[in-house]
Chains A and B, each alone.
Chain A
Amino acid sequence: MSVLAERPARAKQRRAGMSLRPTATLTLLCLLAALAGCALIALTVGAAGIPMARLPAALGLWVDGVANPLLARDELVVWSIRIPRIAAAAMVGGLLALSGTIMQGLFRNPLADPALVGVSSGGAFAAAAAIVFTDSQLGESLRFLQHQLLPIAAFAGSLVTTIVLYGIASRGGRTSIAIFLLAGLAIAAIANAGIGLVVFVADDRQLRDITFWMLGSLSGATWTKLTALAPVLAAALIACLWIARGLDVLVLGDAEAFHSGVDVERLKRISIVLVSAMTGVAVSVCGVVGFVGIVVPHLLRLVIGPGHRLLLPASALLGAILLVGADTVARTIVAPAEMPIGILTAAIGGPFFLAMLLRQRGLVSI
Chain B
Amino acid sequence: MTALLEAQSVSMRVGGAALVDAVSLQIGAGEMVAIVGPNGAGKSTLLRMLSGDLRPSRGTIRLRQRDLSAYGPRELAQHRAMLSQHVNVTFPFTVEEIVSMGAGESPRAVTRALVTAALDEVGLAHFRFRQLPTLSGGEQQRAHFARVLVQLACGEALHGPGLLLLDEPTSSLDLRHQIDLVETARRRAARGTAVIAILHDLNLAMRFADRILLLHRGRLAVDGDRAAAMQADTLRQIFEIDATIDYTASGVPFLLPQTMRPAGKAT
A→B interface (CB under 8 Å): 6, 9-10, 13-14, 16-19, 108-110, 245, 248-249, 251-253, 255-256, 258-264, 301, 305-307, 364
Contact yes or no, B130 A306, CB < 8 A: no
**Complex: A9 Cα to B130 Cα, angstroms:** 12
**Complex: A22 Cα to B76 Cα, angstroms:** 35
User: Which B-chain residue is minimally distant from A6 (CB atoms)?
Assistant: B126
B119 CB, nearest partner CB in chain A, Å: 12
Per-position binary interface string of chain B over residues 91-127, scored 1 when its CB falls under 8 Å from any chain A CB and 0 otherwise: 1111011100110110000000000000000000011
Contact yes or no, B84 A256, CB < 8 A: yes
**Complex: A17 Cα to B92 Cα, angstroms:** 11
Q: Size of chain B's interface in residues, with CB distance under 8 A?
A: 40
A270 CB, nearest partner CB in chain B, Å: 14
Contact yes or no, B105 A110, CB < 8 A: no
What are 17 A-B contacts defined by CB distance under 8 Å?
A: A6-B126, A17-B129, A18-B94, A109-B90, A245-B104, A245-B105, A248-B97, A255-B53, A255-B84, A258-B52, A258-B53, A261-B104, A261-B151, A262-B74, A263-B74, A306-B91, A306-B93
Complex interface: chain A residues within 8 A of B105 (CB): 245
B63: Cβ under 8 A from any A Cβ: no
Complex partner residue of B131 from A17, A109, A262, CB under 8 angstroms: A17
User: Which A-chain residue is minimally distant from B81 (CB atoms)?
Assistant: A259
Contact yes or no, B97 A307, CB < 8 A: yes
A301 CB, nearest partner CB in chain B, Å: 7
B192: Cβ under 8 A from any A Cβ: no
Complex interface: chain B residues within 8 A of A17 (CB): 94, 96, 128-131
B72: Cβ under 8 A from any A Cβ: yes
Q: A16-B129, A258-B53, A307-B93 are in contact. List 18 more A-B contacts (CB 8 A).
A: A9-B126, A13-B129, A16-B130, A17-B94, A109-B90, A110-B91, A245-B104, A251-B91, A253-B84, A259-B80, A259-B81, A260-B77, A261-B77, A261-B78, A261-B151, A301-B92, A305-B97, A306-B92
**Complex: A231 Cα to B193 Cα, angstroms:** 49
B157: Cβ under 8 A from any A Cβ: no
Contact yes or no, A260 B102, CB < 8 A: yes
Instruction: Enumerate the 6 nearest inter-chain pairs by beta-carbon distance, A residue then B residue, closest first.
Output: A17-B129, A261-B77, A306-B91, A261-B74, A259-B82, A18-B129
A27 CB, nearest partner CB in chain B, Å: 16
**Complex: A262 Cα to B76 Cα, angstroms:** 10
B131 CB, nearest partner CB in chain A, Å: 7
Complex interface: chain B residues within 8 A of A13 (CB): 126-130
Chain B, 133-157, CB within 8 A of any chain A CB? 133, 144, 147, 151
Complex interface: chain B residues within 8 A of A10 (CB): 126
B→A interface (CB under 8 Å): 48, 51-53, 72-78, 80-82, 84, 87-94, 96-98, 101-102, 104-105, 126-131, 133, 144, 147, 151
**Complex: A245 Cα to B81 Cα, angstroms:** 18
How many A-B residue contacts, CB cutoff 8 Å? 92
**Complex: A295 Cα to B76 Cα, angstroms:** 38
A264 CB, nearest partner CB in chain B, Å: 7
User: Which B-chain residue is minimally distant from A253 (CB atoms)?
Assistant: B87
Complex partner residue of B151 from A14, A245, A260, CB under 8 angstroms: A260
B177 CB, nearest partner CB in chain A, Å: 18
Complex interface: chain A residues within 8 A of B144 (CB): 252
User: Which A-chain residue is minimally distant from B167 (CB atoms)?
Assistant: A255
Complex interface: chain A residues within 8 A of B151 (CB): 260-261
Contact yes or no, B129 A364, CB < 8 A: no
User: Which A-chain residue is minimally distant from B132 (CB atoms)?
Assistant: A251
Point out which of B93, B101, B144 has the most chain A C-beta atoms below 10 A from its C-beta: B101
Complex partner residue of A260 from B96, B104, B131, CB under 8 angstroms: B104
Complex interface: chain B residues within 8 A of A249 (CB): 101
**Complex: A251 Cα to B91 Cα, angstroms:** 7
Contact yes or no, B94 A263, CB < 8 A: no
Complex interface: chain A residues within 8 A of B87 (CB): 252-253, 256
Complex interface: chain B residues within 8 A of A255 (CB): 48, 53, 84
**Complex: A183 Cα to B66 Cα, angstroms:** 40
User: Which B-chain residue is minimally distant from A17 (CB atoms)?
Assistant: B129
B238 CB, nearest partner CB in chain A, Å: 27
Complex interface: chain A residues within 8 A of B96 (CB): 17-18
Contact yes or no, B90 A110, CB < 8 A: yes
A293 CB, nearest partner CB in chain B, Å: 16
B169 CB, nearest partner CB in chain A, Å: 13
Contact yes or no, A259 B89, CB < 8 A: no
Complex interface: chain B residues within 8 A of A307 (CB): 93, 97
Contact yes or no, B130 A251, CB < 8 A: no
Complex partner residue of A248 from B51, B88, B101, CB under 8 angstroms: B101
Complex interface: chain B residues within 8 A of A260 (CB): 77, 101-102, 104, 147, 151
**Complex: A13 Cα to B124 Cα, angstroms:** 12
User: Which B-chain residue is minimally distant from A9 (CB atoms)?
Assistant: B126
**Complex: A13 Cα to B75 Cα, angstroms:** 35
Complex interface: chain B residues within 8 A of A18 (CB): 94, 96, 129
**Complex: A262 Cα to B74 Cα, angstroms:** 6
A45 CB, nearest partner CB in chain B, Å: 37
Contact yes or no, A251 B93, CB < 8 A: yes
Complex interface: chain B residues within 8 A of A262 (CB): 73-74
Complex interface: chain B residues within 8 A of A248 (CB): 93, 97, 101
**Complex: A260 Cα to B98 Cα, angstroms:** 11
A7 CB, nearest partner CB in chain B, Å: 11
Complex interface: chain B residues within 8 A of A305 (CB): 92-94, 97
Contact yes or no, B53 A259, CB < 8 A: yes
B97 CB, nearest partner CB in chain A, Å: 6
